Structure 1
Amino acid sequence: MEERKSSIQQLDFTLLFLLFVLMCISLMAIYSGTTDQYVFLDDTFFVRRQVVWFAIGVILMLGAMSIDYEMFKNFSIPLYAIGMVLLLAVHFFGVEMNGAQRWIGVGGIMFQPSEFVKIFVILALAHLLYHITQTPREKSFTEDAKVIGKILAVGGPPFFLILIQPDLGTALVIGAVMMTMILMSGVTWRMIGLLTALVAAGLGTLVILHNYFFNIFNKIIAQHQMNRIYGWLDPAGDTSGLGYQLFHALQGIGAGQLYGMGFTQGAKTQGGDIPELHTDFVFTVIGEEFGFVGATVLLIVYFLLLYRMVMIAFNCNNSYGTYLVAGVVGLLVFQIFQNIGMTIGLMPITGLALPFISYGGSALLTNMIAVGIVLNVNIRTRHYMFGEDN
């Protein structure tokens, strides 16, 4: 027997509240991270723009919620094709900034197609897995290899087009979404172990090429990417060059200690020592001014947000909806881990935004659409008093 609930009743208000908390943290961090670094602008310039982006994001989130997610199956292939066309347009006609060609300019507005391609890839892979799981298949190495091959065939082209922009961070996000879908596809752990071994072998090969065949290595890894790795491995070795950003970020976070130095009181935050403080390194503001306690609160909010999404995926009695939510979880988990990891020296610097916190338009809008998809799945999940719909 089905329990009928309205869309409002099934709306996950806990998830929305956690999103609102992240918005508040974002505005505080952006305000503090820009007041002294951009003295030629009004103190609230970036905050006001971020509020506008949040407002647009809420509209897009509501739009993503308004269409029955089953309809996404009809749009997944056309959207994926549009995404590939946009990535090709970036390659041939894109605007170059800071040594990377990642943007397209339309009417004076710059946007980054690779951000929206993340969503298109999730929709396409969820659709692919839905069709795969609807067809009975044997548990064999060959069948598992076919499934992985199909996932790589969908995710591989955007991965490489984004990688050559170059945008290693976003390419790795696409890779994380593909890995999430592989885990959700039901392939055996033996196959997953083999894939892990292949990735480890690939990394080992790069290390060997770097140490003994650097000319070949230099053709695979760009020099600016290698410089980031050098700065990550030894930030104190070149505090005025390769390790400058990470060195000062670590100093700032360390200075925050337990309770932080206070809102707008951070020495590094207000001293202008850290570039891109309101975007890529916004976690430094939180760590320095709110300390370990503030950083922990942020991590708890993220954990609860992701936990709610995982529960929505578990409770969904439609495999397509489950795959959609799983893709979003994989998307957010990697971005959170990578951004915070690079800020505290655990990961190389890749330029990924911290979801819902960093200043910016394209990344924020993408993440808001992703949340809309998750809420969409939740409000359209049917609940039964006795068992589930088979």
Structure 2
Amino acid sequence: MQERKTYLQQLDYTLLFLLFLLMCISLLAIYSAAMAGQYSVEPSHFVKRQVIWFVIGTALMLGAMVIDYDLFKNFTIPLYVIGIISLLAVHFFGIERNGSQRWIGVGNNLFQPSEFVKIFLVLALAHLLFLITKEYRERSLKEDCIVVLKVLAVGLPPFFLILIQPDLGTALVIASIMGTMLLMAGISWKIFAVLGTIITSILAILVWLHNNYFALFSKFIKSHQLDRIYGWLNPYNDPGGLGYQLLGAIQGIGSGQLYGKGFTEGVLSKSGRVPEIHTDFIFTVIGEEFGFLGATILIVVYFLLFYRMIIIAFSCNNMYGSYLVAGVIGLLVFQIFQNIGMTIGLMPITGLALPFISYGGSALLTNMIAIGIVLNVNVRTRQYMFGSEEMS
């Protein structure tokens, strides 16, 4: 009985409360977004389905929390292999929508394997880096290079399999996970400088190919991806076409001004001007109806969520747990930055949902499992006067 009380006392109730706030914001935003003219169903239809996803996600979060995270090491390789096989299945048998082949049909629902591959990759890289940490207490620059190569060997296969779907947004999330976990591993800044130079060089080469050898360039960048880039760089050049969605989102958010127009009172949000407003562009609803103040509150909630995660990562005396939390941070931070950035014109448009806010199943379940892993690490780290010791 005492053990159960101690376990419950170790729960990070601040993190759970922040997650609850995000759930409430999500249901309000989805209800309002579903009133747009582009949808033929009642607004409550999407809300009821999202509640179901939240319930399922909460169950999965609890499941990921109660199992000792140290046992995850036993499933690392099987889950990673399952993830790669599922991505191959998408490549050969997947369902194509809007120019991308990302889904597998499961009954009447669509299942997106790349979402769960994010979790599998976090588990795989955490285990790999934990073993490396045990092997090398102090690493030289050469040994750091070996660590990076091992991480790339694990992370690049799912990265490229997702990239060719094509799904640049999720592929960049994979890259974010690798980068965050390498940062947690204490890799030399010189290596990060080299990696940054390589990435910059690749982008420069792509720009050069676009300007001089477009036929070769088109083999790497699909036409619909290029259209998104054109629409992002100069939306006013084609306001009725490539820039239509972005300009609608920017105008909607801007019209909210300081306090917003009020719940369900958004004009552009209801006009159908912004496609996929209940999923990828749901931040437009928040910006227009709740204004700068409402958008700021949402961002502050996200900031506090990550602040709690960072504390958990550095409080854990087990490096495996710290790597797990770092991977989850990398998984979520980029998605939030990218989604909000694309609605205000800072980033190109991708198909990334806003974590815990956008309507949808696969992404929400993945994020809930990720939070369960963070809570798992937290409840098994006990604090003592002269240090910390992992709970058995």
For residue 240 of structure 1, give the secondary structure of its aligned residue in structure 2.
coil
CA deviation string 1:237-257 (max 9, x = no partner): 111111110011000011001
Deviation at 1:342, TM superposition (A): 0.4
For residue 96 of structure 2, give the secondary structure of its aligned residue in structure 1.
strand
Residues 39 and 156 (structure 1), Cα distance of their counterparts in 2 relative to 1, 3 Å cut = closer
Deviation at 1:105, TM superposition (A): 1.2
Deviation at 1:106, TM superposition (A): 2.1
Residues 383 and 39 (structure 1), Cα distance of their counterparts in 2 relative to 1, 3 Å cut = closer
- 1:235 aligned partner: 235
- 1:133 aligned partner: 133
- 2:15 aligned partner: 15
Matched, 1:346 2:346: yes
Deviation at 1:165, TM superposition (A): 0.8
- 1:66 aligned partner: 66
**Equivalent pairs, count:** 388
- 2:218 aligned partner: 218
Deviation at 1:137, TM superposition (A): 5.8
Structure 2: distance between partners of 1:258 and 1:104:
42
Structure 2: distance between partners of 1:275 and 1:223:
19
Structure 2: distance between partners of 1:282 and 1:91:
29
AA in 1 matched with 2:241: G
Q: Is the 8 A contact 1:144 1:188 kept in 2?
A: yes
Matched, 1:102 2:94: no
Structure 2: distance between partners of 1:36 and 1:217:
38
Q: Is the 8 A contact 1:4 1:383 kept in 2?
A: no
For residue 43 of structure 2, give the secondary structure of its aligned residue in structure 1.
coil
User: How do 1:272-311 residues align onto structure 2 when only pairs under 5 Å count?
Assistant: 272-311=272-311
Q: Is the 8 A contact 1:115 1:362 kept in 2?
A: yes
- 1:166 aligned partner: 166
Structure 1: distance between partners of 2:109 and 2:277:
22
Q: Is the 8 A contact 1:57 1:365 kept in 2?
A: yes
- 1:267 aligned partner: 267
CA deviation string 1:64-105 (max 9, x = no partner): 001000000111111001111111111111111222111111
Deviation at 1:38, TM superposition (A): 5.0
Structure 1: distance between partners of 2:39 and 2:369:
33
Residues 86 and 321 (structure 1), Cα distance of their counterparts in 2 relative to 1, 3 Å cut = same
Structure 1: distance between partners of 2:32 and 2:389:
50
AA in 2 matched with 1:198: I
For residue 16 of structure 1, give the secondary structure of its aligned residue in structure 2.
helix
- 1:118 aligned partner: 118
User: How do 1:199-214 residues align onto structure 2 when only pairs under 5 Å count?
Assistant: 199-214=199-214
Deviates most, 35-44 or 281-290? 35-44
AA in 1 matched with 2:220: I
- 1:24 aligned partner: 24
TM-score (norm: length of structure 1): 0.97
For residue 220 of structure 1, give the secondary structure of its aligned residue in structure 2.
coil
- 1:6 aligned partner: 6
Q: Is the 8 A contact 2:381 2:388 kept in 1?
A: no
Structure 1: distance between partners of 2:340 and 2:99:
24
- 1:377 aligned partner: 377
CA deviation string 1:13-72 (max 9, x = no partner): 000000000000000100101113355312200001000000000000000001000000
CA deviation string 1:215-239 (max 9, x = no partner): 2211111111110000000111111
For residue 350 of structure 1, give the secondary structure of its aligned residue in structure 2.
coil
Structure 2: distance between partners of 1:136 and 1:39:
56
For residue 6 of structure 1, give the secondary structure of its aligned residue in structure 2.
helix
AA in 2 matched with 1:267: V
Deviates most, 25-34 or 212-221? 212-221
- 1:244 aligned partner: 244
Deviation at 1:109, TM superposition (A): 2.5
Q: Is the 8 A contact 2:99 2:224 kept in 1?
A: no
Aligned-residue CA RMSD (Å)? 1.5
5+ residue gaps, structure 1, are none
- 2:325 aligned partner: 325
For residue 381 of structure 2, give the secondary structure of its aligned residue in structure 1.
coil
CA deviation string 1:188-239 (max 9, x = no partner): 1111111111111111111111112222211111111110000000111111
Structure 2: distance between partners of 1:359 and 1:43:
12
TM-score (norm: length of structure 2): 0.96
Residues 4 and 362 (structure 1), Cα distance of their counterparts in 2 relative to 1, 3 Å cut = closer
Q: Is the 8 A contact 1:317 1:382 kept in 2?
A: no
Q: Is the 8 A contact 1:356 1:364 kept in 2?
A: yes
CA deviation string 1:106-153 (max 9, x = no partner): 233321000000000000000000000001266433212111110000
Q: Is the 8 A contact 1:4 1:382 kept in 2?
A: no
- 2:45 aligned partner: 45
Structure 2: distance between partners of 1:39 and 1:258:
28
- 2:359 aligned partner: 359
Q: Is the 8 A contact 2:96 2:103 kept in 1?
A: yes
Deviates most, 89-98 or 343-352? 89-98
CA deviation string 1:290-330 (max 9, x = no partner): 11000000000000001001100011110000000000001
Deviates most, 106-115 or 283-292? 106-115
AA in 1 matched with 2:159: F
Residues 269 and 82 (structure 1), Cα distance of their counterparts in 2 relative to 1, 3 Å cut = same
AA in 1 matched with 2:249: A
Structure 2: distance between partners of 1:114 and 1:326:
19
Residues 39 and 116 (structure 1), Cα distance of their counterparts in 2 relative to 1, 3 Å cut = closer
- 2:184 aligned partner: 184
